[in-house]
């Protein structure tokens, strides 16, 4: 396949010319008409929104709210802006040249980078589709249809099979429409915009309901203050923890402070480095080229990222963080400290909360008696030690437990009512899972065709798009065991390693005369772009390095495993860069 991007990539040449004329006419009529035309023609940015609003964003936003309360609301906007800068750069390159990015990187930058980019994207799509299937299945069984497909209604694997089959059928149907010509692309755009709109509306509706709930309400002054950046949270606990830390014995205050800071740092750095995944960087340029867009559409592409990706992402993640912070921040997980419900019955504690509490409490005991002495204790003795901890320490351990979406839905039920808590929230969670799967399938079709060197259509595209469908097995496998470990760890480490390298590649492409020619940005605009990209590289690179080191330390036994992989990759890339034939 030639690297020339055909003007007909996204449909008939007449459709592309019609869209171009719409933009020209709108610009002549003024800004309001231009905005309307941009919104009407937008699409790729909504795709980015659909994939970034997935299970990882949900889990990250939940725990940011648990740890930092409202004080970390600024983090997600910062993370997504960093991603938009780099996606804007690769979009500019794709629309300004006659070369597809995969071939352009291989020819003008380094083939090691191009192939690593494609392979990392393939791995990410297949592996990380799995938790999306598991998330959507759990939401349907627990929140939306427990009496139809829940464990009690359909015991055994029957319920999961029905739900997973339905989710997979929907995803395949929508994804294959994208490959059925310009009308299929428009249908796909409408479906994605509706899905993203539903996700945002559901979470936004929950927050609105909370704002007017009797005896509830939200502290909007504190919420707005939370959008002011506070990098100090990387080194100090959120100030709202101070009275609870002061309540424990002086010998253990530093332990709890260090634990909070470690968790804050981990979730903050991971959020910054993972808001835009490696697979999203592959999607944007190919989605633009699929439509047949060219340099006349560069302004639309930037608008699309800003309006279709930034705004929905910020609204959805902020609403989840606000709901999580209002219910969980500095609040012990319900039932762990023997709390009772309104009827006087002891609250039954979900298994995930028990595990988290035990882990935190045992870490406190290990700090007190030493690792060797702790390891020598029997299981029963460890349980007795946990039970005999001072109440202040128990409270800290219960506060720092990670909660999931279903814990949040249950906690919101008394405040917003069961319909809003379970159905609105459940629909949002299902929408997150399904929309992410659809986009991962779409991306995989693009990548598979690029690797084979064929046009992104036909049976090759459909085979590629079906690869993430193996994620339908996730509800049966993705249970925290060894299967999850050996799939997630390599994918995470490789993806985190490639992301800053991909960003550096985009930086080089934006400054490549041989690639851009007369389309290279010049003057003050070039300075602005380069400054923004350098800032993003300076932000993402240390975050990714830290994430790999930390992840390798905890999952592979040593941070040097991840560091060794990074060093080896960079060394091989440099060797390939020196030996590769230079473009003529």
Which residues on adjacent β-strands are paired with residue 99?
4
Please name every residue paired with 346 in a beta bridge, in sequence order, or none if there are none.
Answer: 340
Residues 244 and 122 grouped into a single domain: yes
End position of a domain, from candidates 399, 414, 432: 399
Which DSSP symbol is given to 340?
A: B
> What is residue 132's predicted lDDT score, i.e. its pLDDT?
86
DSSP string for 391-440: HHHHHHHHHT----HHHHHHHHHHHH-HIIIIIIHHHHHHHHHHHHHHHH
List, in sequence order, the alpha helices (H) in 107-181: 111-139, 146-149, 158-177
Give the residue among 503, 36, 546, 538 at the shortest CA–CA distance from 284: 503
Virtual CA dihedral for 12, 17, 22, 28, nearest 10 degrees?
A: 170
The encoded tokens of residue 426 equal: 């459940």
Could you tell me if residue 6 is inside a domain? no
- Residue 566 in any domain: the answer is yes
Do 371 and 287 fall within a single domain? no
- Which residues, in sequence order, are CB contacts of 469 under 8 Å at separation 6+? 129, 168, 171, 172, 441
In 3D space, the residue among 177, 190, 153 whose CA is nearest the CA of residue 47 turns out to be 190
Residue 400 has a pLDDT of 93
Domain that holds residue 384: 351-399
Q: Is position 491 within any domain?
A: yes
Whether residue 62 is contained in a domain is answered as yes
State the pLDDT at residue 319: 92
Establish if 4 belongs to a structural domain. Answer: no
Do both 376 and 411 map to the same domain? no
User: What is the rounded CA–CA span in Å between residue 171 and residue 427?
Assistant: 16
Half-sphere exposure of 474 (CA within 13 A, CB side): 27
Domain shared by 479 and 416, yes or no: yes
Q: In this structure, are 486 and 376 located in the same domain?
A: no
pLDDT at 7: 36
pLDDT reported for residue 418: 76
With both helix axes pointing from N to C terminus, report the angle between 523-555 and 482-510 in degrees, rounded to the nearest 10: 160
- Tens place of pLDDT per residue across the chain (584 aa): 445 444 344 445 667 888 889 888 888 888 888 888 898 888 888 989 888 888 778 888 888 999 999 999 999 999 999 999 999 999 999 999 878 899 999 988 899 999 999 998 998 898 888 888 888 888 898 888 888 888 878 877 788 889 999 999 999 998 988 877 777 788 888 888 888 988 888 888 888 888 887 666 788 999 999 999 999 999 999 999 999 999 999 999 999 999 999 999 888 887 776 678 889 999 999 999 888 888 889 889 999 998 889 999 999 999 999 999 998 999 998 778 876 666 666 677 888 889 999 999 999 999 999 999 999 999 999 999 999 999 999 999 999 998 887 788 777 777 677 777 778 878 888 888 899 999 999 999 999 999 999 988 888 999 999 999 988 887 776 555 444 455 555 566 667 778 888 899 999 999 988 888 889 999 999 999 999 999 999 988 888 888 888 878 877 778 888 888 889 988 998 898 888 777 66
Does any domain span residue 7? no
Tell me the pTM: 0.87
Residue 1 within a domain: no
- pLDDT recorded at residue 9: 44
Rounded distance between C-alpha atoms, residue 279 and residue 501, angstroms: 13
388 with 435, same domain: the answer is no
Q: Which of 267, 403, 261, 394 is nearest to 327 (CA)?
A: 403
Same domain, 525 and 573: yes
The closest of 469, 393, 409 to 170, measured between CA atoms, is 469
Rounded CA-CA distance 89/536 in Å is: 12
- The total domain count for the chain is 2
Length of the chain: 584
Residue 288 and residue 368 in one domain: no
Nearest 10 degrees: CA dihedral of 37, 43, 48, 54?
Answer: 110
Q: What is the pLDDT of residue 554?
A: 77
CATH number at residue 130: 1.10.4160
Instruction: Say if residue 357 is in the same domain as residue 215.
Output: no
Whether residue 376 sits in one domain with residue 438: no
Q: Give the domain-ending residue among 343, 367, 399.
A: 399
Q: Which of 343, 372, 399 is the last residue of a domain?
A: 399
Q: Which two tokens stand for residue 525?
A: 């605009």
For residue 421, the number of C-alpha atoms closer than 13 Å in the C-beta half-sphere is 18
For 346, the 3-state DSSP assignment is: strand
Asked whether residue 55 is assigned to any structural domain, the reply reads yes
Q: Give the pLDDT score at 8.
A: 40
Domain match, 323 and 174 both: yes
434 and 475 belong to one structural domain:
yes
């Amino acid at each position: 396949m030639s690297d020339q991007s055909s003007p007909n990539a996204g449909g008939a040449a007449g459709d592309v010319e019609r869209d171009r004329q719409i933009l020209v006419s709108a610009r002549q009529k003024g800004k309001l008409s231009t905005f309307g035309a941009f919104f009407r023609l937008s699409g790729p940015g909504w795709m980015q929104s659909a994939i970034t609003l997935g299970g990882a964003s949900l889990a990250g936003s939940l725990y940011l709210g648990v740890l930092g309360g409202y004080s970390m609301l600024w983090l997600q906007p910062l993370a997504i802006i960093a991603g938009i800068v780099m996606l804007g750069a690769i979009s500019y390159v794709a629309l300004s040249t006659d070369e597809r990015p995969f071939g352009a990187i291989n020819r003008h930058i380094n083939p090691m980078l191009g192939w690593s980019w494609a392979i990392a994207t393939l791995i990410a799509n297949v592996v990380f589709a799995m938790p999306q299937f598991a998330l959507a299945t759990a939401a349907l069984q627990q929140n939306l249809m427990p009496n139809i497909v829940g464990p009690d209604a359909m015991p055994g694997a029957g319920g999961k099979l029905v739900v997973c089959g339905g989710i997979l059928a929907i995803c395949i149907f929508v994804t294959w429409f994208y490959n059925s010509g310009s009308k299929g692309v428009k249908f796909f755009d409408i479906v994605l915009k509706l899905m993203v709109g539903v996700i945002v509306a559901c979470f936004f509706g929950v927050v609105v309901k909370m704002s007017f709930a009797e005896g509830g309400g939200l502290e909007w002054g504190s919420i707005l203050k939370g959008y002011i950046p506070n990098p100090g949270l990387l080194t100090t606990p959120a100030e709202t923890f101070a009275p609870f830390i002061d309540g424990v014995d002086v010998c253990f205050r530093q332990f709890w402070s260090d634990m909070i800071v470690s968790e804050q740092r981990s979730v903050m750095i991971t959020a910054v480095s993972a808001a835009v995944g490696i697979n999203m960087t592959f999607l944007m340029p190919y989605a633009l080229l699929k439509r047949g867009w060219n340099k006349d559409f560069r302004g639309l592409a930037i608008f699309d990222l800003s309006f279709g990706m930034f705004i929905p992402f910020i609204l959805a993640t902020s609403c989840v963080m606000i709901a999580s912070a209002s219910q969980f921040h500095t609040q012990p997980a319900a039932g762990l400290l023997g709390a009772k419900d309104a009827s006087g019955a002891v609250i039954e504690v979900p298994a995930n909360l028990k595990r988290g509490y035990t882990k935190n409490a045992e870490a406190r005991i290990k700090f007190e008696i030493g690792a060797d002495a702790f390891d020598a204790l029997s299981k029963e003795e460890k349980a007795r030690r946990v039970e005999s901890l001072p109440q202040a320490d128990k409270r800290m351990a219960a506060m720092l437990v990670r909660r999931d979406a279903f814990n949040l839905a249950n906690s919101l039920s008394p405040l917003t009512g069961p319909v809003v808590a379970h159905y609105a929230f459940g629909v949002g969670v299902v929408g997150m899972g399904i929309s992410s799967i659809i986009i991962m399938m779409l991306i995989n079709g693009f990548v598979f065709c690029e690797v084979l060197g064929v046009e992104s259509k036909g049976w090759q595209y459909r085979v590629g798009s079906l690869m993430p469908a193996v994620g339908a097995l996730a509800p049966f496998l993705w249970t925290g065991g060894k299967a999850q470990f050996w799939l997630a760890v390599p994918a995470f480490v490789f993806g985190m390693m490639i992301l800053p390298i991909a960003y550096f590649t985009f930086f080089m492409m934006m400054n490549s005369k041989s690639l851009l020619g007369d389309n290279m940005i010049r003057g003050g605009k070039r300075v602005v772009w380069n400054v923004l990209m350098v800032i993003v590289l300076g932000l993402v690179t240390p975050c990714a390095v830290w994430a790999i080191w930390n992840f390798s330390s905890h999952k592979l036994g040593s941070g040097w495993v991840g560091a060794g992989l990074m060093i080896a990759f960079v060394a091989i890339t440099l060797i390939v860069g020196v030996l590769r034939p230079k473009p003529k």
